[in-house]
Amino acid sequence: MKENNHKSIPLISRLRPYFLGQAVTAFFAFIVVMTTNYGGFYFRRYDTYEYIYVGGRYDATFLILAGAVGLFLALYASLKNLTSKNASPRLLKENTQKAMIGAGYAITLSLASVFVIAILSNLTDRDWWLGFGFYGSIIAGALTFFIGKRIIEIIDLEKVNIQS
C-alpha cells in the first residue's frame, strides 16, 4: 500500500482549504458590516424612548465603511489565491499578506469606531450598544487574519523543507 506523503501533493493544493477559509471569513465579515446593525444609541426624550442606529448621521459611519473597504480588499486577495492555478509561493504569500493587512485594517477601524460611538454617547448622556455588525466584523476579521498567518507559516515551512 502506497504511503500518502504530503510532499507529493503540490503546495497550492494543500493550501486551498486555507484559502477557502480565508475567503469565506472575509466575505462573511464584509457582508455583516454592510448589512447588519453595527450599534446604536438609546435615550429618553420627553416621555418616549428613542433608538438611533449608527448610520449616516454619525462620524463612526466613515470608520465602518472604511473598515468594509479593508474587508473587501482581504476578500479580493483571498480570492486571487483561491482561484490561482500555479502561482509561486512568493505570490501566494504576498496575496495572503495583503488579505491580512486588509483584515487588520478593518479590525483597527472597528475598534476605533467603538471609541467614537462611546464618546458621542457620553457627550449627550445616551446609552449605547454594539450590534452584530461590530461583533461579526471583529470575529470574522480576526479569523481571516489568523488563517492568513497559518498560510504564511505553511509556506515558510515548505521553503525550509525544500532547502533541507
**CATH at 141:** 1.20.140
- Indicate the Cα dihedral angle 94, 95, 98, 104, nearest 10°: -110
Angstrom distances, CA of residue 132 to CA of 86, 145, 146 = 38, 19, 21
Q: Please check whether residue 46 lies inside any domain of the structure.
A: yes
What pLDDT score does 98 carry? 93
What pLDDT was estimated at residue 95? 92
Which H or E element spans position 150?
helix 132-163
Q: If you average pLDDT over each of 5-9, 26-30, 55-59, which comes out highest?
A: 26-30
Domain that holds residue 155: 18-163
DSSP 124: T
The DSSP code for 92 is: H
User: Residues 6 or more apart from 21 whose CB is under 8 A from it?
Assistant: 143, 147
Question: Which set of grid coordinates corresponds to residue 80?
Answer: 486571487
Contacts of 130 (CB under 8 A, 6+ apart): 38, 39, 114, 117
Residue 13 within a domain: no
27, 34, 120, 138, 152 from 105: Cα distances, Å: 15, 16, 22, 11, 18
Q: Does residue 76 belong to any structural domain of this protein?
A: yes
Is 40 in a helix, a strand, or coil?
strand
Q: How far apart are CA 95 and CA 102, in angstroms?
A: 11
Q: Indicate the number of domains in the chain.
A: 1
Q: In this model, does residue 132 exceed pLDDT 70? A: yes
Residue 12 lies in a domain: no
The answer to whether the beta carbons of residues 35 and 64 sit under 8 Å apart is no
1 has a pLDDT exceeding 60: no
In a domain, 32, yes or no: yes
DSSP string, 3-38: ---GGGS-HHHHHHHHHHHHHHHHHHHHHHHHHS--
Q: How confident is the model over 54-103, as pLDDT tens digits?
A: 644 455 577 777 888 888 999 999 999 888 888 888 899 999 999 999 99
